[in-house]
Amino acid sequence: MQLDDWKQAWAAHATTLERSLAIDERLLREVLLRKVRFALAPYVLWRALEVALGLAAIFLVAPVLAAHATEPRYLVVAGSLFVFTIGFTALCAYLLVNSLQLDYDGPVTAIQRDVARLQIVEYRAFRWALLGGFVLWLPALLVPFEALTGVDALARVHLSYLVANLVVGLVVFAVGLWWSKKYVERSDPKPWARRLVVALSGRPLRSASGHLAELARFEREE
């Protein structure tokens, strides 16, 4: 066989090898991205359920607030619950929409950035739910009960108890918000703060982040 024939055969072999490697890389990417989608499926379903529950809560609170629109205690207590429920439902809707709009055809680094953003927003949702619960746990029980039974439950609670509950809840809320802003949501968080955000973001986002990190490592090695 002539030297030129050897060169042509080697070039053809190299082309075939490159094509095979490209196919393998594409298949690996598809497999790992499929794992990401599978990991995020429960997350999407849970966010959709939260939005549905939030809308149901809004429709429960609104009639009670409208029926007692001239009573200060209802305006303050039930009104605060109404505003908080709208805000929290909107936050859950934001998470749902952005998780559905992840661009799996884009660069891995872009997907990682979007998932990391979801983790941060998820942490904020947890923070608002936790701190808001200290302030609104009592109206969150009484107002839906009143909406379902027609009993003026909130009106039967002594005003001093409502005020004390509100004051204590607001103090806890302010302290918790200050702590979160100072130590967790800073521009250069400590490693433990990053681990806290990741841990509170939930298992689906952690699993998706892990699969993306594996894919990113493979692409860097390539």
Domain contains 1: no
The answer to whether the Cα torsion of 164, 167, 172, 175 is positive or negative is: negative
Residue with tokens 């050897």: 6
Q: By C-alpha distance, which of 46, 73, 211 is closest to 146?
A: 73
Domain contains 136: yes
For the stretch 88-102, pLDDT in tens is 999 999 999 999 998
38 confidence band (pLDDT: 50, 70, 90): confident
Domain contains 111: yes
> Own/partner pairs for 204-210, CB < 8 Å, 24+ apart?
204/39, 204/40, 204/41, 204/42, 204/43, 204/46, 205/40, 205/43, 205/115, 205/118, 205/119, 205/122, 207/35, 207/39, 208/36, 208/39, 208/40, 208/43, 208/115, 209/112, 209/115, 209/116, 209/119
Domain contains 15: no
Domain contains 9: no
For the stretch 54-88, pLDDT in tens is 999 999 999 998 988 888 888 888 888 999 999 99
- Quote the tokens at residue 179: 């702590």
Domain contains 13: no
Domain contains 8: no
Supply the range of the domain harboring residue 194: 26-221
Query: How far, in Å, CA of 187 to CA of 184, rounded?
Result: 9
- Quote the tokens at residue 221: 């090695």
Q: How many domains does the chain have?
A: 1
For the stretch 162-205, pLDDT in tens is 888 888 988 999 999 999 988 888 878 888 888 888 888 888 88
pTM of the model: 0.79
